[in-house]
């Protein structure tokens, strides 16, 4: 089974900061990597699919990169509404969607 790890597990940042979250797969998953944002008490929301494609309606300050085993989610200028938990998810095993453990972004 493919295992996903994320780092850091949490971070504190200020509005306007550039934030980078890393996700690593236990084996190559090509570009089959998605990113989700979840706010407390809410369902997750798809931000990025196929490692670097922005989901419709998602602000352009969010971007994704990487392929193989190492991936990155970047928020270019953190906004107040971006404080949330972010999850990566592999879809290389097409019908088995393994999630990473999450990265909580909170206010410094």
Partner 1 sequence: EVQLVESGGGLVQPGGSLRLSCAASGFTFSSYSMNWVRQAPGKGLEWVSYISSSSSTIYYADSVKGRFTISRDNAKNSLYLQMNSLRDEDTAVYYCARVRLKIAAIDYWGQGTLVTVSS
Nearer to partner 1, 71 or 87 (CB): 87
Q: How far apart are CA 15 and CA 42, in angstroms?
A: 22
Q: Least distance in Å: CB of 3 to partner 1?
A: 13
Q: Least distance in Å: CB of 77 to partner 1?
A: 25
Q: Least distance in Å: CB of 30 to partner 1?
A: 10
Q: How far apart are CA 20 and CA 79, in angstroms?
A: 14
Nearer to partner 1, 15 or 50 (CB): 50
Q: Count the Cβ atoms, other than its own, within 10 Å of residue 63.
A: 16
Nearer to partner 1, 17 or 104 (CB): 104
Q: Contact residues for partner 1 (CB under 8 A)?
A: 32, 34, 36, 38, 43-46, 49-50, 53, 55, 87, 89, 91, 94-102
* Cβ-count burial 30-62 (b if 16+ within 10 Å, e if not): ebbbbbbbeeeeeebeebbbebbebeeebeeeb
């Amino acid at each position: 089974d493919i295992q996903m790890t994320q780092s850091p597990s949490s971070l504190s940042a200020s509005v306007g900061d550039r934030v980078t979250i890393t996700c690593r797969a236990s084996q190559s998953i090509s570009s089959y990597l998605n990113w989700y944002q979840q706010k407390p008490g809410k369902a997750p929301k798809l931000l990025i699919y196929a490692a670097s494609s922005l989901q419709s309606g998602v602000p352009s300050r969010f971007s994704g990169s990487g392929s193989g085993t190492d991936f990155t989610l970047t928020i270019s200028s953190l906004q107040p509404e971006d404080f949330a938990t972010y999850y990566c998810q592999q879809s290389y095993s097409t019908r088995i969607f393994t999630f990473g453990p999450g990265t909580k972004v909170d206010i410094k």
